[in-house]
Amino acid sequence: MGSKIISIGYGNVKKVELGATLPLVFFGGPCAIETKDHALFMADAIGEICQNLNVPWVYKSCYDKDCRSAPDSFHGTGIDEGLKILANVRDEFGIPVMSDFSDASWAAATGEVCDMVQVPAYLCRQTSILRAAAETGRPVHLKKGQYMSPWNMKNSVRKLEAYGCDSIILADRGTFLGYSMLVNDMTSFPIMQKTGYPVCFDATHSIQLPTSMGNISGGQREFIPYLVRAAAGCGINALFMEVHDNPKAALSDANTVLDLKYLENVLHQAKIVHETRLELLDKFGEGNVHPE
């Protein structure tokens, strides 16, 4: 299915393009920025894997985790320190970086450093957040709220467009907020692609069991490869996974992040399924079985 081509990266970083039939792109990194050294270590390790697999990628890590279940959970480095670290990653490795922002007043600073800004799933309908994201002038990674149908994401897309943004990537991270369980509807990808924009699958948040452990969220990491293969087969343009070298010690989302040692395995599978799907499309076409 056709979609716009989105270009991520300004200045001297290696630009990443995704959409239509371009190669699968990876968005990844630790859920939260922990320290500068850890961020640089992770960028180096993930970069090596992506280089081996020839997968274009964007480093993702957040400076403020405003949706933690408990008040004493790690909240993040804060915007000033976090953006400095992201700028370090960018300069050191020449790769595009991304962070989300949970407060409209943080958007401008986030967009000044980051090559792409992310709208958190919880906030995907908030006009003030969408407006602030659009006004950064950067591509926007728009997560589908766990409470949103894929077709209703069009309303959020229209808000972004109304404020001047025409570089959008829509992501699914599971549905059914509030019952400590998420379900992935794979039809969400072709439905969201109907907006004309590329789509992304957030694998590590999809296996989350929100607040299933009382004051923290659990997760079923063993299902990551299953869901990744399914999503790649359904036409995603990008794959999002939070990765950590020591998940048990991760300061955020310890129960859902992918262990770094499995990244190459999962990413390789995603790439193969993505390429196989394109071959099948060439051979059989798409949208010609029970077309609307």
Partner 1 sequence: MFIRNKNVGDVMLDLGRFPVVTEDIILKEALEKMDKFRLGVACVVSSNNQLLGIITDGDIRRKLLTMQKPLVAFFIDDAINQSIKTPVIVTSSMGLIDAIEIMENQQVWDLPVVDNGELVGLLHLHSATKALLLG
Nearer to partner 1, 195 or 208 (CB): 195
Q: What is 167-221 written as a DSSP string?
A: -EEEEE--B-TTTT--B--TTHHHHHHTTTS-EEEEHHHHTEETTTTSSS-EE-G
Q: Mention every residue, 6+ apart, whose C-beta is less than 8 A from residue 49.
A: 263, 264, 267
User: Which residues sit opposite 259 in a β-bridge?
Assistant: 244
Closest approach of Cβ 287 to partner 1, in Å? 12
Closest approach of Cβ 191 to partner 1, in Å? 8
Closest approach of Cβ 154 to partner 1, in Å? 5
Closest approach of Cβ 286 to partner 1, in Å? 16
User: Which residues contact partner 1 (rule: CB under 8 A)?
Assistant: 149, 151-152, 154-155, 191, 194, 292
Helix H or strand E encompassing 45: helix 36-53
Nearer to partner 1, 136 or 167 (CB): 167
- Distance (Å, whole) CA 221 – CA 255: 8
Closest approach of Cβ 174 to partner 1, in Å? 19
Nearer to partner 1, 99 or 156 (CB): 156
Nearer to partner 1, 128 or 149 (CB): 149
- Distance (Å, whole) CA 77 – CA 57: 23
- Distance (Å, whole) CA 71 – CA 203: 26
